[in-house]
Structure 1
Amino acid sequence: MSSDKDYEWLITCQKSAYELLSLPTPSSQSSQSSFSQSQLRKQYRAKALELHPDKNKSPNADEEFREISVSLKILSDPSLKQKYDEFLQRKLNAELHKKARGARQQQIRDDLLAAEESHLVQQQQKLSRDQKIAFLRKKYSKLKKEKTQEILFSRRTVITILDDDDNIDHDQDIQETCSFPFEPKVKVKWKNKQSVGASISEDVIARLMEVFGKVERVDMSRSNSETENYYYATVTFQKHISCIMAQLHDYDYSSSLWDEVGLSKISKLLRSAKIVGYDSSIKLSGCKGMPFEEYMGISLLTLDRTINGRGRKIHEKHRKHHG
């Protein structure tokens, strides 16, 4: 059999010539053999004694003996050996490339699955958050109705309390007949904490204040600077009742109002919200037929002024008594 046919037959074998003769395969950095011709023939003789058909009882004995014989022939011929080594290197490179491509494809599949899973989790969280917000709004509407009824009852005033979803356009009534002596604006004050305070934007302030009602705009104070202990912003609400609720909220205690919007940590920096242009010495009075929310706002401010006024009188009396 010619050498070329031997070569073509050998490259179809499952094992390489080096493996068949238990010889080290040349590295990819060097094509030089790490064994001599005498070592090659020594390995062949050892294998021939083991695999000769006279001693080898395997049904493939002839095939196995031919494999080591052809391997010796190819590795003994420098030109055929070089050609064979180049073939092995190309085969190895192809296998490495196939593995690398498979690894990249697997990584892409893993990334896609991770992105899809993350998207599903976000969608589920959004759905849960929207459901909680809807529940809280309904709960707030019910609580507002109950508390307002209590306040009005304490003033011996009887009026009909309407739910937020009744078919009456309160917003239009308020815009047309509102008689508050101030705009629906509050000046918000918060702690300038180095790690958080300076990064609070107009959007963040709007989201914080929207727990009290719809915010139309936020204007950051021009006096805000890194050296100041507190920052300020003016928040304009759509309704007066919103700015009243914002002022009456007690910011000294942590509140769950901001849990559902993910701002509970930042909300702890809030210190106060004061109505712009509101003079507590001016008496506010309602009139028959005025919008419900306007009447409720007047009632809340009046009640707050009464409670705070009594508190100041008790404190002054106590101070003089123990003076």
Structure 2
Amino acid sequence: MAAKKKVSKKKSAAKKKTKKKAVRKKKTGKLAPRKEQRGLKAEQVVLPLDDNAVAPLIDEIQAVGGAAIGAYREPLSGRPVVMAVLPFKAVQPTPFQRDLSPTHVKRLAEKIEESGSFLDPLIVVRGDDGSLWTPNGRHRLAAAKMLGLRQITALVSPDEELAFRILALNTEKAHNLKDRSLEVIRMAHSLAESKPRAKEVDYSAEFEAPELLTLGMIYSQNKRFAGGAYSPMLKKLDRFSERTLRVSLREREAQAARLQEIDVQVKKIIEKLKARGFKSPYLRNYVVARINPVRFHRAKKGDTTPPMSVSAALTRMASAAKKFNLDSVKPGELALVAAMSGGEGS
């Protein structure tokens, strides 16, 4: 009986151990919910209009013909913010936002007209020249102009750096690669002018990903560039530079020029493949993958060191493009690229 009890206890312990393993959550890298509460209490958020923290900002608002409606401390950071109405003409979009979409502006204006309300205030900060900038309201501003609005509502912040951080919060409407790249490169050029000693790596959070800077260089000249085909290679190799923005941007400009030269060769290969009867929309993805020197590289866990420099990779790609063997292309390989691309042809 004692032996049976021991076996039973062992089985019970094994079951409990298995159960614990089953309920153990995998590490996903996602931000876990905090147990403790953060931020200000309600009474700490309220800020009188005559408070020294917002008085200079309210003077600026009044100077452009606007009016302060109220003030408060942002609940998370405690930074002061002024709720105001501003003359439409007093606000300009930051120069590094994505390009204006006339279709989106027209649709937005129609919906505002239908609802009879301009309910979504713009975020507004001081610009480099002392004017008022909105880093996230270009389309709403254009819609207000279309509707002939005299005044718009805005949340005005004295935190000028918010103009560069706001894009990281723009997650509601996913930007495509071109939009994101153009926003980032315009922001980088603006910062390089206003802060010549700033290092590229210091703005890694604002820029989101280093390859966007290089691709942004190209998109600034060629909006039809197929950046999606080259992005996987750049992601594996590109890193933020420790050099100043002015220097790093010159280096990226050179890389962008080389990448465009490679794309010219890729286009020639694609035309030759089409002449042989290959009509897949994934031809560019296939050709670029074939000449990508780090196509099969898999980084070890925790290793962030690139296998080679971007410059070295571009040299290899250019050489591989010149030696590309058309006879080696098989229809089955194209089908595999199509499946791996997830329907994103170029």
TM-score range, shorter chain: under 0.3
| Higher RCO (C-alpha 8 Å, min separation 6) | 1
* Structure with larger Rg: 1
TM-score where L is the length of structure 1: 0.21
